[in-house]
Structure 1
Amino acid sequence: MKRKYSPYTLPPWLRKVRGACAQFIIPICVFQGIRTILFPFTLDVLLLTLLILLAVALHLNVI
């Protein structure tokens, strides 16, 4: 049986790191989005997709 994920079971230092990442991921996504629009390379598009998925996962408490 699978247990539900709870961020409160994480160590305090890891919760702080997760919170800091959740705050900085949106500005990084915006910067990467502007960079992708100006210079659309394959790596930039893949990186932007990965960053958006990470941002959604952090804000929905999946990670």
Structure 2
Amino acid sequence: MIIRVLDLYIAHREMTERWWKQRHTELDNKAPGELRTLAEYQKLIELLQGLARDWLGTSELKNE
């Protein structure tokens, strides 16, 4: 997961910074930095897969 965030950050720095600070309805209106439970992190992984597909053209999330 961390490597995917870094991939997104390198490719789209400003968009990734804004996305990381935003609250998301898919994360129960929390920002990624506010997550605490395994279930929340699993939802984050799903969101990151979508971002990777949209921003980087890949749907594969490496096991980080």
Q: Smaller-chain TM-score range?
A: 0.3 to 0.5
Q: Give the structure with the higher percent helix.
A: 1
**Normalised by the size of structure 1, how large is the TM-score?**
0.40
Q: TM-score, normalised by structure 2?
A: 0.40
